[in-house]
Amino acid sequence: MTRGKPGPAEPEARKGVGPMIPPLSDAQRPLRQQVFERVRAAGLIPRVQLAKDLAVSPASVTTITGELIEAGLIEEVAAPRETEGRGRPAVALGVRADAHRIAGMKLSDREHTAVIVDFAGNLIADDVIPRRPGPLTLDELLDAVETLLDRVCTKAGLTRAALSAIGIGVPGFVDVADGVALWSSVLIERHVPLAAAASARLGVPVSVDNDANLVALAELWFGAGRSLGDFAVVTIEHGVGMGVVMNHRIYRGAQRVGMELGHTKVQLDGALCRCGQRGCLEAYVADYALAREAATALNWGHREGQPIHVLLETLYDQAKAGDATARSIFRRAGRYLAVGLANVVNLFDPALIILSGDRMRYDYLYATETLAEMDTLVIRTGRPRLPVEIHAWGDLLWAHGAAALALSEVTERILSPQSREAATAA
Concatenate the DSSP letters of all residues of 162-222 into one string: G-SEEEEEESSEEETTTTEEEE-TTBSSSSB-HHHHHHHHHTS-EEEEEHHHHHHHHHHHH
Give the list of residues 6+ apart from residue 28 with CB closer than 8 angstroms, or none: none
pLDDT of residue 426 exceeding 90: no
Highest mean pLDDT among 25-34, 123-132, 300-309: 123-132
d(CA 212, CA 338): 19
User: What is the pLDDT averaged over residues 133-159?
Assistant: 95
Please tell me which residue, 239 or 82, carries the higher pLDDT value: 239
d(CA 129, CA 148): 7
Residue 3's CB is within 10 A of a number of other CB atoms, namely 12
pLDDT at 129: 94
Structural domains present in the chain? 1-99 (1.10.10.10), 100-215+397-415 (3.30.420.40), 224-393 (3.30.420.40)
What confidence tier does 87 reach under pLDDT thresholds 50, 70, 90? low
Give DSSP secondary structure letters for 376-391. Answer: HHS---SSPPPPEEEE
d(CA 190, CA 170): 13
3-state secondary structure of 276: coil
Burial of 399 from C-beta contacts in 10 A (0-12 / 13-18 / 19+) = buried
Instruction: Give residue 426's identity as a one-letter amino acid code.
Output: A
Instruction: Name 136's bridge partners.
Output: 187
d(CA 393, CA 262): 20
Q: What is the mean pLDDT of the chain?
A: 87
pLDDT of residue 86 exceeding 90: no
pLDDT of residue 357 exceeding 70: yes
pTM score of the predicted model: 0.85
